[in-house]
Structures are given as structure tokens and as C-alpha cells.
Structure 1
Amino acid sequence: MPDTIRFERERGLLTLRLNRPEKKNALTCAMYSQLAEGLRLADSDPDINAVLITGGAECFTAGNDIFDFLQQPPNNLDSPVFHFMLNLLECRKPVIAAVAGAAVGIGTTMLLHCDLVYVSTDARLRMPFVNLGLCPEFGSSLILPRLLGQAKAAELLLLGEGFSGEQAAAWGIATEALGSGEAALAKGREMALRFDELPPEAVRISKQLMKAPDREQLRKVIEEEGALFTQRLRSPEAMTALSGFLNRH
């Protein structure tokens, strides 16, 4: 059975590749733990200069594996999904994402915490939290209104409207949209390897300065969202919506 997260080393680059194509790279508790481990490894290894997160040229991730999520719901902030969130939030090395195909739920919100994001123009991004009886997570309720304004953020977070990779780039959620999944992956790798040529301490300090003004508020919001999200998972609304999702799939 293949590893659901593949760790690939290339010079100073660590690639964390989501590798569950038969399930559209839907994320399980075990996968969150592996992603958190990879980010901790990158942060502590002086030979790693950057991290690339990708699902390959076909699909980024369909979001949480709902069956796994209901079997092992996150009961508190010590759960694997929150370990992943906080390790991505605190990672001192540059984190690059290369996105093709579906990027659903946390597949979109994690991009808000990456330093560079390359998407295919036809990537399909969506945050259907309310549609599933849940609420926004990973700081999206703070970041998106600031980035897009209240009206557009409401369309994405309250209605769960989907959008393309091209729109993501136009709105500043992504760095650049490219014509295909292969092109997005190649660009992500190319840009991630550029950090091999830059002074690593200067990069680290510069990232720290860019992130510092919002770090504490963002961490607090992630914790508040997480507490409400775990409550919502047990609500009748969410149970009905999630059961309906499982029955359709």
C-alpha cells in the first residue's frame, strides 16, 4: 500500500506529496499527522530551505475524508488536523503550494498560509463549510474578509461558492495561475528550488517579519474557529449534512 503522504528530497527542497489518488487525496487523521511531521522536519533541518506541498498534476485534495473525520473527529486542539495547522502557521521556512484540480475545504484554506501558491487556471477551489453544517476554519474567517472584502468573502464562506484557479490568482489567494496542472507543479518546484540560491537566514528573518504583525491574532482566531468547528461537528445540522454527503458518495 503506498504512503498517503510521500516525502521527497531534492537538494534543499522537501516535497510533501498527497498520494491518495483513488480518494482524490482526501485527508485523513494519519495524513495530517504526516504533514505536521514533514513541516517539523523542514523547520529543524538546516539542509532544507523550502517545502513544496502538492497533490500532483491531477488533484490537490478533496478536503477532509468525511468518513475518517466522523470516525475520529477532532475533539480538541491537540488533534492531528490542528497539529498540521499550527505547524504550517509556525513554519519558518518558505512553504510553496502547487495546486491542480480540486482544492476543497482545508485544501483551499491551507493556501492562505503558504508563502507562494501556483495553481492551474482550471483548478476548482471551494470552502463548503456552511453547506456541511460547519463553520470556517484555519483563520479563513479573518484572512478572507481582509483580503477580499466582506461581500466577496461572504459569497465564498457563507454560500460556499466555488472559484477557479484563475480567480484565485486575480484575488491574491494564489501567486500565479498557469495553463495546466503540470505547469503549476513545474512552476512550484522551480520557485521552491530558488531558495537554494538565497541566504537562508535572510529568508527566515524576512518571512518572520512579514508574518509577525498578524501571528498572535491569527493563532487566536484559529483556536476559536477550531473550538466552534468541533462543536458544530456534533450538531444536528452537521450530522444531517455529513450523513447526506456520505450517502451521495
Structure 2
Amino acid sequence: MSEHIRTDLDDGVLSIVMARPDKKNAITQAMYAALSEATERARADAAVRAVLLKAEGDSFSAGNDIGDFIAIGSQTEQPFDMAVFRFLKALADLDKPLVAAVRGRAVGIGLTMLLHCDMVVVAEDALLSVPFVNLALAPEAASSLLLPAAIGHQRAFELFALGEAIDGRTALAWGLANRAVPAGQVDETAAALAAALAARAPNSIRKTKRLMRDAEALWTRMQREGEAFGSQMKSPEAMEAFMAFTQKRAPDFSKAG
């Protein structure tokens, strides 16, 4: 288990906490491995009735740790070898209710993992974005399927293509969240929802979720996305985007094509 991922089981609710606040909870491959273990445990452990995903500090997650991601991604031939894909598979397979508590920034997978949550509580001033195209990459976590289904093609394409953030109130209005509350009430509200779900008939909840989600279709889409993501990772476009990110400048795609 990564030092930056904590878990706690209390009265049927397994809390999974991203605890790297100094880096805005940017996720490393070690953290993905720990998230995978926790999510797989939640599915297998009968004592777990609901899962609560939350984060320390002022941001839910800044997305992938870019330095870690580039270093590991450049060393593997297959993107599916990366720990992130084990976590994505675990999300697709999870048949117990998953609740998220979101404050501050939710970037990239910080947003796309919310699409696998059954209930989402966001701070009214939270900022959610999926800037994959800004990094010359492609969507992941079956978000190319789930995000248009949730908010419509036009809104989803704008989020993907322009990479601009929406706030928590907009996320609620668009159907990406169940509650938008002041930041100080996010954890309490999410915990109450998780507790309410944990008190419901567990087999009924699991069967309901399975009927509402096609885990096999989600994993199939994740694999298609992984192929696109992997090819973009090694592209000149991505190299320029990563270089620009580290140099804190706008990327120049004028010669790409």
C-alpha cells in the first residue's frame, strides 16, 4: 500500500483517501497500485457495504503525476502494463456503491474516475477538467463513453477538446454530481450518503448497480482508449506538450499533422 493512499473501514463504509496534499494529490503509479488493491478489496470483502473516495488538502486530484507518468510510460511497450489500468479495471468491476467527496481541483482522471461513482458530492467552487487534448493525449477510464452519456456529446467534446474547467455548480446542473455544497460541508455530506447506502440491502444494491452498468463494455472501451492513449504517449505532439508543461509555456502544435 502506498504511503499516499489510506484506507479505513467503519460501519460498512470503506474510506479510500488520497493523501498527497503537497502535490495536489497528483497520482503516481504506486498510488494507482494501492488504489487498485483497495478497490479490489472493497469488491471482495463482505464487510464492505459502500466505498467513500476522498482526498486530503485543498484538491481532490491534479490527475496523473506527469513526471512519474512520462518516466514509466516511456519504459513500457504496452500501456496496459501500467498500474493505472489495473485501477481502471477495478473501477469497471466494482459492484458496490461508490461515493466521492470532491473539493478544489479534479483534473484528468480526477474527473473521469467520478464517472464510475454512483454518488458525487462536489464543492460549489470545485473546478473539474479533462485536459487530455491539451497534453496531446486521449480520454481514459471509459470517459469517451461515459461523459457524453452523462452530459451530451457537445458538452463532453468541449470539455475534452478545450480542456477548460467547470465549477461544482455547473457539474451539478449538468448531471455530473448529486450535491453541490460549500467546501466545508463536502466530507460530511458524502459520508452521510455513504452511510445511508451501507445501511441498504447489500445484495439489492449490488444487483441494481450491475443492471445499470455493463462492466464488460466499460473494460472494452478502456482498452480501446488505452491503445489510442498509448500511441499518443509516444507521438511528437505529446513530446511537445510534455516539454511545454515542464517549461510552463503553451505548446506549439503548428507543425503537427
Question: Where do 1:122-141 residues align within 5 Å?
Answer: 122-141=125-144
Residues 188-244 of structure 1 show CA distances to partners (whole Å, capped at 9, x for unaligned) of 1111111332111111111111113xx333222111011110111111111111121
Aligned position for 2:185: 183
**2:44 and 2:217 mapped to 1: Cα distance?**
25
**1:115 and 1:94 mapped to 2: Cα distance?**
6
Match among 202, 205, 208 for residue 206 of structure 1? 208
Residues 130-183 of structure 1 show CA distances to partners (whole Å, capped at 9, x for unaligned) of 001111111111222222222211210111121001111111111111111x31
Unaligned runs of 5+ in 2: 250-257
Tell me the matched-pair count.
245
* Offset at residue 99 of structure 1 (A): 0.3
**2:8 and 2:127 mapped to 1: Cα distance?**
26
Give yes or no for the alignment of 1:154 onto 2:157.
yes
Indicate the SS of the match to 1:72: helix
Under a length normalisation based on structure 2, what TM-score does the superposition of the two structures give? 0.91
Moved more, 117-126 or 67-76: 67-76
Residues 90-127 of structure 1 show CA distances to partners (whole Å, capped at 9, x for unaligned) of 11111111000000000000101111100001001010
Aligned position for 1:9: 9
Match among 113, 117, 126 for residue 114 of structure 1? 117
Counterpart residue type for residue 115 of structure 2: L
The runs of 4+ residues in structure 1 deviating greater than 4 Å are: none
Moved more, 77-86 or 28-37: 77-86
Give yes or no for the alignment of 1:173 onto 2:183.
no
Residues 187, 104 of structure 1: CA spacing in aligned structure 2 closer, same or farther, 3 A cutoff?
Answer: same
Q: State the identity as a percent.
A: 42
Under a length normalisation based on structure 1, what TM-score does the superposition of the two structures give? 0.94
Aligned position for 1:244: 244
Counterpart residue type for residue 53 of structure 1: L
Give yes or no for the alignment of 1:104 onto 2:107.
yes
* Offset at residue 248 of structure 1 (A): 2.4
Aligned position for 1:41: 41
Aligned position for 1:221: 221
**1:48 and 1:195 mapped to 2: Cα distance?**
11
Residues 3-43 of structure 1 show CA distances to partners (whole Å, capped at 9, x for unaligned) of 20011221111111000011000000000000000011111
**1:148 and 1:199 mapped to 2: Cα distance?**
30
Give yes or no for the alignment of 1:197 onto 2:215.
no
Indicate the SS of the match to 1:119: strand
**1:193 and 1:19 mapped to 2: Cα distance?**
22
Aligned position for 1:143: 146
Cα contact 1:52–1:192 (8 A) shared by 2: yes
Indicate the SS of the match to 1:77: helix
* Offset at residue 69 of structure 1 (A): 0.3
Counterpart residue type for residue 46 of structure 1: A
Cα contact 1:25–1:55 (8 A) shared by 2: yes
State the Cα RMSD in Å: 1.5
Aligned position for 2:22: 22
Unaligned runs of 5+ in 1: none
Counterpart residue type for residue 191 of structure 1: L
**1:56 and 1:148 mapped to 2: Cα distance?**
28
**2:225 and 2:147 mapped to 1: Cα distance?**
14
